[in-house]
Chains A and B, each alone.
Chain A
């Protein structure tokens, strides 16, 4: 297991400092990281689908956890960003006289269902499984 340095940022997130090996990790801790940063084994970092929500990580002592409410908000933002892109594409199709598939009603329903699924999810695995609009 590799060692990394973690610390809480001003916005409450967790930053992970990865030493290159050019300097001993203690020197990296002192030189590159703010006060309060700690050296941990990288096995304490979230893995799998939890790792995909880095901006939802929170630090408590030397434990890193995923704030699920933040993870939901991140997923919803990604979902909405994709929805906007698809909607723009559909709007151009309409202006160009090209029929959209699925229909507007089905597309709207798809978005409603997707957002409901995000709201109902209880794990990061469920969030990752929800496909963004395409």
Chain B
């Protein structure tokens, strides 16, 4: 079979160097889509250009307790803060212990009960796993930062949500002016 070619159609799309223009092509452009974390893109004609920009993470900096290995390329992020969670106080409270006890500040303590002179119960807001916790207490007879007398402060776990404090001085119970208790587990 013989088919005649219309050379005029080719000739109209050739430049003076004999190259075919884009308009003479069936697919004269490509579509570039911006994927995740990128912006830009478009449908440039063949021979044209298109720019894709990073629209996601553009920099990495280290916050408190964190270190980063680099700001470009492969980046390693390391927690450089000491692991203190296990040792953090699970509860603490400070209160005045004189004739009118009042709470100064607290964490995870719902109340302090004044039971008898020199005897207090510290009640936790959220119970701990069990009563195997460590308690530390301080008492100042005349106020914060100064002590008088030879008080012996005994604070012990009672239940998973309660510790009891006693304040002895010269063999008898007495109230000091200021108490603080911290509980660790």
Which A residues are within 8 Å of any B CB, using their own CB?
2, 5, 9, 13, 15-23, 27-28, 31-33, 42, 45, 47, 51-52, 54-55, 77-78, 81, 85
Which residues of the other chain, B, contact A33 by a CB distance below 8 angstroms?
Answer: 113
- B170 proximal to A (CB < 8 A): yes
Complex CA distance for A7 and B112, rounded to whole angstroms: 14
How far is the CB of B155 from the nearest CB of chain A, in Å? 17
Determine if A20 and B109 form an interchain contact, defined as CB atoms under 8 angstroms apart: yes
Beyond the given A20-B111, A22-B109, could you list 7 further A-B residue pairs with CB under 8 A, ordered by the A residue number? A13-B116, A16-B113, A17-B111, A18-B102, A42-B100, A51-B100, A81-B170
Given contacts A22-B106, A31-B123, A52-B99, contact A17 B113 (CB under 8 A): yes
Give the dominant DSSP class at A's interface.
Answer: mixed
- B139 proximal to A (CB < 8 A): no
Given contacts A54-B117, A81-B170, contact A19 B99 (CB under 8 A): no
Determine if A20 and B114 form an interchain contact, defined as CB atoms under 8 angstroms apart: no
Complex CA distance for A20 and B95, rounded to whole angstroms: 9
Determine if A55 and B113 form an interchain contact, defined as CB atoms under 8 angstroms apart: no
Which B residues are within 8 Å of any A CB, using their own CB?
93, 95, 99-103, 106, 108-117, 121, 123, 125, 170-172, 175
How far is the CB of B120 from the nearest CB of chain A, in Å? 9
Determine if A18 and B110 form an interchain contact, defined as CB atoms under 8 angstroms apart: no
Which residues of the other chain, A, contact B100 by a CB distance below 8 angstroms?
Answer: 42, 45, 47, 51
* Residue from A5, A19, A51 whose CB has the most chain B CB atoms within 10 Å: A19
Given contacts A31-B123, A78-B172, A85-B170, contact A19 B116 (CB under 8 A): no
Which residues of the other chain, B, contact A54 by a CB distance below 8 angstroms?
Answer: 99, 114, 116-117, 175
Determine if B125 and A23 form an interchain contact, defined as CB atoms under 8 angstroms apart: yes
Complex CA distance for A31 and B99, rounded to whole angstroms: 25
